[in-house]
Amino acid sequence: MSQKINKPVIKCINIQKSYEQGLNESVLKGINLRVDPGTSLAITGSSGSGKTTLLNIIAGLDNPDAGEVHVADQLLAKLNSSKLCKFRNQNIGFVFQFHSLLSEFTAAENIAMPLMIAGNPRKLAIERACSLMDKIGLNGKANRLPANLSGGECQRIAVLRAIIMNPACLLADEPTGNLDKKNADIVCNLLIDLCSEFGTALVVTTHDSYVADFVDSKMGLIDGKLSPL
């Protein structure tokens, strides 16, 4: 009986990226990366090392100068702008260092937003959002605006917003950068638990080795190249 082979959720092949800032500066130099379903990876590196650039390329928010990005068995370069937006909404969750919640919408509405953008009925989207909030102990805060939530609560809301579509992959760019250790612990555990439960591939960028201790594997981005740690 043949052994089942998991296809990678994220596959980067020879990704290269440069920026022209007076001199042509090479940021990513032949990045190769594979992340499988239900696994988590931390990419560490100093500020300006290219971590955010790499995440943006994986998410289709930026284009590489050379190389290929495959997400959920889809070559991103083959998608036009409208198809890429739809694909991203359905398959890629993104958590930023700053939670970026919409201030005029409640916590539940912020979480439900990707579902509603995808055309799901508002009532069902809000119910799904409230169910996720109950799962992590934020029940009772569904109708609060971001201004009436703590920083840690807002970041957890942002994580739920990123995961509500059950995306194939979740990309988190310095997700604990603005949190104290207690809230950083909560957010890190939430990311790992949700990705394990839903079989989501998780990539976290951080300059904090403490955050990297939560994940399955670690890589360092130094001088434009990835190396296992």
| Residue 100 confidence class, pLDDT cut points 50, 70, 90 | confident
| Residue 4 confidence class, pLDDT cut points 50, 70, 90 | very low
DSSP state of 100: -
End-to-end Cα spacing for the chain: 35
Q: Among 67-71, 150-154, 210-214, which stretch is predicted with the lowest mean pLDDT?
A: 210-214
Give whole-number Cα distances, 15 to 28, 30, 41, 222, 227, in Å.
7, 5, 18, 14, 14
Q: Evaluate whether residue 1 is within a structural domain.
A: no
Other C-beta atoms closer than 10 Å to the C-beta of 36 total 15
| Residue 136 confidence class, pLDDT cut points 50, 70, 90 | confident
Q: Evaluate whether residue 5 is within a structural domain.
A: no
Question: Does the pLDDT of residue 106 top 90, yes or no?
Answer: yes
Q: Domain limits at 39?
A: 10-228
Instruction: List the CATH number of the domain containing 78.
Output: 3.40.50.300
Q: Evaluate whether residue 31 is within a structural domain.
A: yes
DSSP state of 9: S
Q: Evaluate whether residue 19 is within a structural domain.
A: yes
Q: Evaluate whether residue 163 is within a structural domain.
A: yes
**CA 20/CA 228 separation, integer angstroms:** 29
Our CA dihedral for 195, 198, 200, 206, rounded to 10 degrees, sits at -10
Cβ contact 126:175 at 8 Å: no
Query: Between 10 and 180, where is the model more confident?
Result: 10
Number of domains in the chain: 1
The pair of three-digit structure tokens given for residue 137, joined into one six-digit string: 């102990």
**CA 188/CA 198 separation, integer angstroms:** 16
Q: Evaluate whether residue 4 is within a structural domain.
A: no
Q: Evaluate whether residue 205 is within a structural domain.
A: yes
> 3-class SS at 87?
helix
Bridge partners of 24?
20
Our CA dihedral for 181, 95, 190, 8, rounded to 10 degrees, sits at -130
Question: Does the pLDDT of residue 165 top 80, yes or no?
Answer: yes
DSSP state of 149: S
Q: What is the pLDDT of residues 28-84, one digit of tens each?
A: 999 999 999 999 999 998 888 899 999 999 999 999 999 999 999 999 999 999 999
Q: Evaluate whether residue 3 is within a structural domain.
A: no
